[in-house]
Amino acid sequence: GIYGDLYIKFTIDKRGKLISVELLRTSGYRMLDDAAIKALNDAQPFWPLPEEWQKDSLTITGHFIYTLRGFYLR
């Protein structure tokens, strides 16, 4: 019966390995925050970065939304 949204910044190296995760804004529930971080860790390895990007890493800010019965409540 809990819901919320959070922001996470994470970085993937050029081989697709998750090298850092930072919680930028909590959902207000540790359980939801931990589940989002676990989802990122469990999703490894990610696709490698394309060589033509000529980057050693890619940083992404993700918005995770947990809803009740498919409705996003703010």
- End-to-end CA, the chain: 14
pLDDT at 50: 97
Q: pLDDT tens-digit profile of 23-43? A: 999 999 999 999 999 999 999
Do the beta carbons of residue 16 and residue 72 sit within 8 Å?
Answer: no
Domains of the chain: 4-66 (3.30.1150.10)
DSSP state of 55: -
Per-residue tens of pLDDT for the chain, all 74 residues:
889 999 999 999 999 999 999 999 999 999 999 999 999 999 999 999 999 999 999 999 999 999 887 665 55
Q: Work out the mean pLDDT of the chain and round it to a whole number.
A: 93
